[in-house]
């Protein structure tokens, strides 16, 4: 009985080859055959085995082949991985698929054959370079060695291969003909077919005494369980798809214009690491207390938790961290750079840029036209939204870190160019836009009104019970209206679009309405006439096609004019920058370095460049500081954003989060806000902050929930010395349950091998 | 080359001899599972409910292909579980169809409740079970699944080769339909189910001669003559059904031998309930085996003229008469060694239980050896070890690979 053992990789066609060889040798009717693979759970590329017996007599053995006469090696690289030569019979042969000469394998067996089956197969277009299907060529070589009929073999190959019969037949023939030499036909092997089962059991018993392959009973638990990977079965080589832990982008973080790592500071807060959490914010935003109050909370707008119940109250967490940190320790910075930087404007953009450059070691001076720093945060946001002392504390911190602010100094770029190497212009947008209607001079400017009232306590003629018409739909309009209310007036806002298009922060609009502010939508002023009061003529609007801002353009409805009477009219329809800094030249301000006729580099930042909120101005300040540094260091700088891999709700497993309601801030309620300038929105307590921060879903960031660890059927997930969850790829069979059950989409599951 | 062409001439001559030996057959190289599917097709089964489970799946896949290609006039239905498969098989059989399906391990365990019902509704269904164990979880060869179902009332055959599996299905339908009993043909996982070997496939008209079309018994579902099935049987009548079952199950062994001979006359391959190999009055040891281990034991026996082999082809109902008939002529000093590829949670394996029942009152020494469970390979050396160990230091029950 001839016994053959094959070694190949899954996908090379070996099991089919052995079945075809069985068919070829049984074809004559002279021989009994038996062909079978070693049964495992195999996959493409994994080492596999197959067995073939050919005998003149009935085959009286159904076990694996341990002592082959002939070994077929379909991939020579397997020699390093698998004991391919084990148990070869004395006088036995090995056939290698290789381009090398038989001499290079001498000593491995009494007779070595080599055949370039990969080359032959690829020439015939069988399989791919990474996985050539070499079975027909290997069959051809075996036919030669065993002196069988190549024509019958070709016919059987043609009838039994799953595809490309002609190419496979040709490959077999090429291999058959290329195995030359007088002793290609192996008499020893042919002889073995004719004899019976020659003492296999004696050989095997001798093997057993040599090997210690019996597993000791004590090593096996009574119950088939494993809390660590099951050492009995290394299932890692089953894997086609591979899970890996990844950190993906969270929508809160990617949406923050300042660039704050929101997910991280929320996480640290939930662990009660308030100092570390504050530091994370401060890295991008030196105004957490301000932003916690007045930012539209871009981070909350795409919070994935909104799909489950209610988005996280991130603003309050930021506010809490900011307010408890006024007295905390600060780093101070040494001047290490020679280039001197001037910043024009002490608003959020200018101060942030100055702080960043100070951190980087640049001597930096901020020039402020007004007698106080803070820009629009100071002059444009009413006390009931942002108390003065909060802003004072955050600016004080910046100054304590070495930023020099010179107040009451309205400068032009020209004045600075001799003393500085770069000028950052961040003068904001403090000049109110005009409505361009006749007799507009009797209309008050909203931004001026807010400034004068807050800084000089000047109510600008607004008396108790005055009816005040406010034109606009932004935050200034809302702030003006709520200030009027507190002065005892009756404010009505007229806005040309609908509530949906209002640029004001939504919760501010809600609060204004709750306080008693009236808002009329889809109406715009067309005329004013002054008598003892003021008649304001309005025209109704309807929404047309979207404009460049993406909002639907308001279109007047002909003949729909109507008139209302008011005591005061205040316009809040937008602001523009003061061009004094450029000596009255009209400059198109844009983020970063601009073309300007000066002997120093000039950069723009803040409201005048882009945005319109405090947080955007802060982000703009961070960016301009990076750009200035890159400019002086001769490094490349790009305004391009890197592509983000943002976790979307569909990628989260909401079943693993308990629905809980958002911890809302207490809002001051009153029947009458007359003369009440107290802060309207109150902060949350420490215990409320802890509850709220723990509601974070940790989108795209492993929070060690252990679902993967619990669900892995092979216990292939372990906790490493740094207390992180990790995958043992020796045992991970690539089932994907971990990725499926990961609540926060922090496990990638893809068709690629992990290189450890 | 002249040498090889003369070999070829001799081959042609031999081929003709073989063809004569198995007249009206085609030699094919088939895996056990494909031989099983071939058997079901040749028996003109008309209804195949299916649910996949390794290592059986390729049986129902092959049948699905045959039905799809129009080679079989059968209804093939994918069911949602093995319990449903057997329920559907029961319904179709009640309606008079010749039914076939295949399962394995957990699938058979899951169908347990319906197995009883099929047997005692007296439905002549034939199935293949490709054996595998339950827990500890494993997909490889093991007879624990089918042997644990031995009390469901099903007739059980254990096939030693792909040829035998195919032939057993044909004879299985004959016995099933003759006695109104279900028949389970068991084959070993992978060592049989996935092993390609020589199989002589009979021409279908040969089978038609042996196995007539299924006759109506009158108990089938018939819309023009509505009946009620499965109604509550009062206590005073219940045993009557058991007695009728008992009478028929007692006929299985004789019918197996009788029909095995008839099959031999027609097909050229004779079968019996048990097979004695090298059993003589002076035989010192007899190995008792089921399925594929038998083949390997046959090989080892060539070195051991003093050892005989008793292959149990029919296991349920246990062929007591045939076993006694063989052992009748053997000296009482002969040792009987049962080789168990099953673990039923008892001290001894299933073969030992049945052999002790059969040999009650005799003075044979009997030993039990567990081996090959969960698909562990049983090479000739294991058989050799069993022989040596039992001769030298016999123990009642042995786990041969664990000293």
Nearest chain A residue to B292 by CA distance is: A62
A491 and A466 Cβ atoms separated by less than 8 Å: no
B348 and B369 Cβ atoms separated by less than 8 Å: no
Q: A75 vs chain B: nearest CA distance in angstroms? A: 23
Q: Which CATH architecture has domain B274-399?
A: 3-Layer(aba) Sandwich (3.40)
The mean pLDDT value for A105-119 works out to 91
Tokens representing B137 are: 């979880």
A378 vs A734 pLDDT, higher one: A378
Asked if B19 is an interface residue toward chain A (Cβ–Cβ < 8 A), one would say yes
Contacts of residue A687, defined as CB under 8 A and 6 or more positions apart, other chains included, come to: none
Please report the pLDDT score of residue A509 as a whole number: 94
Q: Inter-chain contact B191–A66, Cβ cutoff 8 Å? A: no
Nearest chain A residue to B137 by CA distance is: A224
For residue A715, the number of C-alpha atoms closer than 13 Å in the C-beta half-sphere is: 10
* % of chain B surpassing 70 pLDDT: 95
Nearest chain B residue to A33 by CA distance is: B197
Chain B residue numbers with beta carbons less than 8 Å from the beta carbon of A149 are 4, 8
Q: What whole-number distance in Å separates Cα of residue B262 and Cα of residue A626? A: 96
* Residue in A38, A32, A92, A90 with CA at minimum distance from that of residue A63: A38
List pLDDT tens digits, range A267-285: 999 999 999 999 999 999 9
Chain B residue numbers with beta carbons less than 8 Å from the beta carbon of A202 are 384
Shared fold status for B24-205+234-263 and B274-399: yes
Helix (H) or strand (E) holding B58: helix B57-68
Asked if A187 is an interface residue toward chain B (Cβ–Cβ < 8 A), one would say no
Chain A residue numbers with beta carbons less than 8 Å from the beta carbon of B381 are 200-201, 204-205, 207-208
Residue B72 pLDDT greater than 80, yes or no: yes
Name the least confident of A40-44, A423-427, A728-732, B29-33: A40-44
Q: Inter-chain contact A66–B15, Cβ cutoff 8 Å? A: no
- Radius of gyration over every alpha carbon of chain B, rounded to an integer in angstroms: 22
Please report the pLDDT score of residue A331 as a whole number: 83
Asked if A713 is an interface residue toward chain B (Cβ–Cβ < 8 A), one would say no
Q: Inter-chain contact A61–B296, Cβ cutoff 8 Å? A: yes
Chain A residue numbers with beta carbons less than 8 Å from the beta carbon of B15 are 28-30
Q: What is residue A411's three-state secondary structure?
A: coil
Q: What is residue A620's three-state secondary structure?
A: helix
Chain A residue numbers with beta carbons less than 8 Å from the beta carbon of B295 are 59-62
Write out A29-89 in H/E/C secondary structure.
Answer: CCCEEEEEECCCCCCCCCEEEEEEEEECCCCCCCCCCCCCCEEEECCHHHHHCCCCCCCCC
Q: How many CB atoms lie within 10 A of CB A276?
A: 15
Asked if A19 is an interface residue toward chain B (Cβ–Cβ < 8 A), one would say yes
Chain A residue numbers with beta carbons less than 8 Å from the beta carbon of B378 are 62-63
Band (pLDDT 50/70/90 cuts) for residue A756 is: very low
Please report the pLDDT score of residue B5 as a whole number: 55
Class of B24-205+234-263 per CATH? alpha beta
* Residue in B235, B37, B250 with CA at minimum distance from that of residue B130: B37
Q: Inter-chain contact B402–A214, Cβ cutoff 8 Å? A: yes
* CB nearest to B380's CB, from A29, A41, A63: A63
Cβ-in-10-Å burial (0-12, 13-18, 19+) of B264 comes to middle
List pLDDT tens digits, range A702-715: 999 999 999 998 88
* CB nearest to A34's CB, from B11, B197, B380: B197
Q: Best residue in B299, B303, B373, B387 to probe A by mutation, most A CBs within 10 Å?
A: B299
Q: Best residue in B131, B162, B187, B195 to probe A by mutation, most A CBs within 10 Å?
A: B195
Q: Terminus-to-terminus CA distance in chain B, angstroms?
A: 54
Contacts of residue A617, defined as CB under 8 A and 6 or more positions apart, other chains included, come to: A347, A348, A349, A352, A375, A426, A428, A605, A606, A607, A611
Please report the pLDDT score of residue B10 as a whole number: 53
Residue A292 pLDDT greater than 70, yes or no: yes
Asked if B293 is an interface residue toward chain A (Cβ–Cβ < 8 A), one would say yes
| Mean pLDDT over each residue of chain A, to the nearest integer | 91
| Positive or negative: CA dihedral A143, A144, A145, A146 | positive
The predicted complex's ipTM stands at: 0.89
Asked if B204 is an interface residue toward chain A (Cβ–Cβ < 8 A), one would say no
List pLDDT tens digits, range A341-357: 999 999 999 999 999 99
Asked if B8 is an interface residue toward chain A (Cβ–Cβ < 8 A), one would say yes
Torsions phi, psi of A646, nearest 5?
-85, 135
Q: What is residue A544's three-state secondary structure?
A: strand
Give me the residues of B, 143-182, that contact A with CB < 8 A. none
* Residue in A454, A455, A464, A452 with CA at minimum distance from that of residue A677: A454
Q: A550 vs chain B: nearest CA distance in angstroms? A: 53
Asked if B23 is an interface residue toward chain A (Cβ–Cβ < 8 A), one would say no
C-alpha distances in Å from residue A480, one per residue of A289, A295, A530, A608? 22, 18, 22, 22
* CB nearest to A39's CB, from B194, B380, B403: B194
Domain residue ranges of chain B, discontinuous segments joined by +: 24-205+234-263, 274-399
Please report the pLDDT score of residue B18 as a whole number: 46
Asked if B196 is an interface residue toward chain A (Cβ–Cβ < 8 A), one would say yes
Name the least confident of A121-125, A189-193, A565-569, B112-116: A189-193
Q: What is residue B175's three-state secondary structure?
A: helix
* Residue in A455, A291, A313, A321 with CA at minimum distance from that of residue A386: A291
Asked if B140 is an interface residue toward chain A (Cβ–Cβ < 8 A), one would say yes
* CB nearest to A36's CB, from B196, B302, B381: B196
* CB nearest to B15's CB, from A29, A147, A149: A29
Q: Inter-chain contact A62–B296, Cβ cutoff 8 Å? A: yes
List pLDDT tens digits, range A627-650: 999 999 999 999 888 899 999 999
Q: Best residue in A63, A149, A186, A714 to probe B by mutation, most B CBs within 10 Å?
A: A63
Give me the residues of B, 52-91, that contact A with CB < 8 A. 55
A365 and A404 Cβ atoms separated by less than 8 Å: yes
* CB nearest to B300's CB, from A37, A64, A201: A201
Tokens representing A719 are: 């906790």
Q: B107 vs chain A: nearest CA distance in angstroms? A: 20
Q: What is residue A367's three-state secondary structure?
A: strand
* Residue in B258, B152, B200 with CA at minimum distance from that of residue B38: B200
List pLDDT tens digits, range B316-360: 999 999 999 999 999 999 999 999 999 999 999 999 999 999 999
Nearest chain B residue to A200 by CA distance is: B380
A248 and A239 Cβ atoms separated by less than 8 Å: no
The mean pLDDT value for B65-90 works out to 98
Q: Inter-chain contact A63–B378, Cβ cutoff 8 Å? A: yes
What residue ranges define each of the domains in chain A, with the CATH number in brackets? 2-210 (3.40.920.10), 251-329+653-693 (1.10.1060.10), 341-430+577-633 (3.50.50.60), 436-442+455-572 (3.50.50.60)
Q: Best residue in B379, B392, B400 to probe A by mutation, most A CBs within 10 Å?
A: B379
Asked if A275 is an interface residue toward chain B (Cβ–Cβ < 8 A), one would say no
Asked if B401 is an interface residue toward chain A (Cβ–Cβ < 8 A), one would say yes
Tokens representing A29 are: 């009717």
Please report the pLDDT score of residue A205 as a whole number: 73
């Amino acid at each position: 009985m001839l016994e053959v053992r094959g070694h190949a990789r899954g996908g090379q066609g070996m099991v089919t080859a052995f079945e075809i060889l069985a068919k070829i040798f049984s074809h004559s009717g002279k021989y009994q055959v038996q062909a079978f693979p070693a049964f495992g759970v195999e996959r493409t590329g994994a080492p596999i085995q197959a067995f073939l017996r050919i005998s003149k007599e009935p085959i009286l053995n159904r076990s694996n082949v341990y002592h082959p006469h002939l070994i077929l090696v379909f991939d020579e690289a397997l020699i390093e991985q698998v004991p391919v030569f084990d148990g070869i019979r004395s006088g036995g042969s090995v056939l290698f698929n290789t381009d090398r000469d038989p001499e290079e394998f001498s000593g491995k067996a009494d007779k070595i054959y080599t055949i370039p089956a990969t080359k032959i197969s690829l020439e015939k277009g069988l399989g791919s370079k990474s996985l050539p299907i070499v079975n027909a060529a290997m069959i051809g070589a075996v036919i030669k060695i065993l002196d069988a009929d190549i024509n019958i073999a070709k016919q059987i190959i043609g009838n039994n291969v799953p595809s490309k019969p002609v190419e496979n037949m040709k490959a077999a023939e090429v291999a058959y003909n290329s195995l030359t030499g007088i002793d290609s036909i192996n008499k020893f092997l042919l002889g073995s077919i004719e004899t019976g089962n020659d003492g296999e059991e004696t050989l095997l018993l001798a093997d057993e005494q040599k090997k210690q392959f019996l597993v000791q009973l004590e090593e096996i638990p009574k119950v088939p369980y494993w809390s660590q990977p099951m050492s009995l079965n290394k299932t890692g080589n089953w894997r086609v798809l591979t899970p890996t832990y990844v950190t993906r982008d969270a929508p809160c973080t990617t949406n923050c214009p300042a660039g704050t790592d929101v997910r991280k500071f929320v996480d640290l807060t939930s662990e009660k690491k308030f100092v570390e959490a504050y530091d994370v914010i401060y890295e991008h935003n030196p105004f957490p207390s301000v932003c916690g109050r007045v930012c539209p909370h871009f981070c909350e707008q795409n919070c994935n938790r909104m799909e489950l119940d209610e988005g996280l109250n991130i603003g309050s967490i930021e506010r809490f961290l900011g307010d408890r940190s006024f007295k905390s320790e600060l780093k101070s910075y040494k001047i290490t750079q020679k280039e001197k930087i001037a910043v024009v404007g002490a608003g959020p953009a200018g101060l942030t840029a100055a702080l960043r450059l100070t951190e980087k070691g640049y001597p930096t001076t901020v020039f402020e036209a007004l007698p106080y720093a803070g820009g629009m945060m100071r002059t444009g946001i009413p006390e009931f939204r942002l108390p003065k002392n909060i802003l004072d504390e955050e600016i004080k911190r910046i100054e304590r870190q070495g930023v020099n602010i010179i107040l009451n100094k309205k400068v032009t770029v020209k004045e600075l160019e001799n003393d500085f190497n770069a000028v950052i212009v961040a003068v904001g947008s403090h000049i109110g836009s005009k409505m361009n209607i006749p007799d507009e001079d009797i209309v008050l400017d909203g931004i001026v009104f807010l400034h004068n009232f807050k800084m000089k306590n000047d109510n600008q003629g607004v008396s108790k019970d005055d009816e005040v018409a406010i034109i606009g739909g932004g935050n200034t309009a809302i702030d003006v209206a709520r200030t009027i209310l507190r002065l005892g007036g009756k404010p009505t806002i007229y806005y040309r679009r609908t509530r949906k298009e209002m640029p004001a922060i939504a919760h501010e609009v809600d609060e204004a309405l709750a306080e008693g502010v009236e808002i009329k939508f889809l109406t715009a002023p067309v005329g004013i006439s002054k008598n003892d009061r003021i008649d304001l003529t309005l025209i109704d609007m309807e929404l047309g096609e979207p404009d460049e801002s993406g909002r639907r353009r308001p279109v007047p409805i002909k003949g729909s004019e109507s008139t209302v009477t008011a005591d005061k009219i205040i316009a809040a329809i937008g602001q523009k920058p003061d061009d004094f800094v450029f000596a009255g030249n009209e400059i198109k301000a844009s983020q970063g370095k601009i073309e300007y006729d000066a002997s120093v580099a000039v950069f723009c930042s803040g409201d005048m460049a882009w945005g319109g909120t405090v947080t955007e101005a802060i982000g703009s300040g961070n960016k301009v500081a990076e750009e200035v540094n890159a400019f002086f260091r001769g490094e490349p700088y790009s305004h391009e954003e890197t592509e983000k891999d943002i976790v979307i709700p569909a990628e989260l497993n909401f079943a693993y989060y308990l629905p809980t309601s958002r911890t809302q801030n207490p809002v001051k309620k009153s029947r009458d806000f007359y003369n009440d300038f107290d802060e309207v929105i109150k902060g949350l307590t420490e215990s409320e902050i802890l509850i709220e921060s723990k509601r974070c879903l940790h989108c795209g960031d492993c929070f060690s929930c252990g679902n993967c660890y619990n669900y892995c059927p092979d216990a292939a997930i372990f906790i490493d010395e740094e207390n992180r969850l990790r995958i043992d790829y020796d045992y991970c069979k690539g089932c994907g349950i971990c990725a499926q059950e990961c609540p926060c989409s922090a496990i990638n599951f893809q068709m690629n091998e992990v290189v450890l | 080359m002249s040498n090889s062409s003369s070999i070829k001439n001799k081959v042609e001559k031999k081929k003709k001899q073989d063809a004569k030996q198995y007249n009206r057959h085609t030699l094919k190289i088939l895996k056990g599972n494909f031989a099983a599917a071939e058997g079901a097709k040749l028996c003109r089964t008309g209804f195949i409910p299916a649910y996949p489970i390794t290592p059986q799946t390729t049986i129902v896949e092959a049948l699905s292909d045959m039905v799809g290609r129009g080679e079989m006039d059968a209804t093939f239905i994918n069911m949602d579980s093995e319990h449903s498969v057997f329920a559907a098989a029961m319904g179709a059989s009640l309606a008079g169809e010749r039914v076939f399906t295949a399962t394995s391990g957990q699938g058979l365990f899951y169908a347990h409740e319906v197995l009883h019902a099929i047997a005692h509704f007296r439905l002549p269904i034939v199935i293949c079970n490709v054996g595998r164990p339950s827990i500890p979880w494993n997909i490889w060869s093991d007879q624990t699944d089918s042997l644990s179902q031995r009390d469901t009332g099903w007739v059980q055959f254990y096939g030693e080769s792909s040829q035998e599996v195919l032939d057993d299905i044909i004879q299985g339908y004959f016995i099933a339909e003759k006695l109104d009993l279900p028949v389970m043909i068991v084959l070993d996982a992978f060592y049989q189910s996935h092993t390609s070997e020589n199989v002589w496939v009979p021409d279908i008209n040969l089978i038609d001669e042996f196995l007539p079309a299924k006759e109506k018994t009158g108990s089938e579902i018939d819309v023009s003559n509505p009946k009620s099935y499965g109604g509550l049987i009062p206590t005073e009548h219940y045993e009557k059904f058991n007695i009728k079952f008992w009478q028929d199950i007692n006929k299985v062994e004789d019918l197996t031998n009788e029909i095995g001979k008839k099959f031999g006359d027609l097909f050229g391959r004779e079968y019996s309930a048990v097979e004695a190999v090298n059993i003589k009055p002076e035989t010192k040891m007899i190995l008792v085996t089921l399925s594929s281990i038998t083949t390997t034991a046959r090989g080892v026996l060539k070195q051991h003229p003093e050892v005989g082999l008793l292959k149990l082809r029919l296991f349920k109902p246990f062929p007591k008469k045939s076993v006694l008939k063989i052992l009748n002529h053997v000296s009482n000093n002969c040792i009987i060694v049962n080789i168990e590829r099953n673990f039923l949670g008892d001290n001894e394996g299933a073969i030992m239980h049945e052999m002790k029942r059969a040999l009650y009152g005799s003075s044979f020494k009997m030993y039990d050896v567990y081996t090959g469970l969960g698909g562990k390979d049983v090479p000739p050396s294991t058989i050799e070890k069993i022989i040596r160990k039992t001769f030298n230091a016999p123990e009642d029950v042995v786990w041969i690979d664990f000293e």
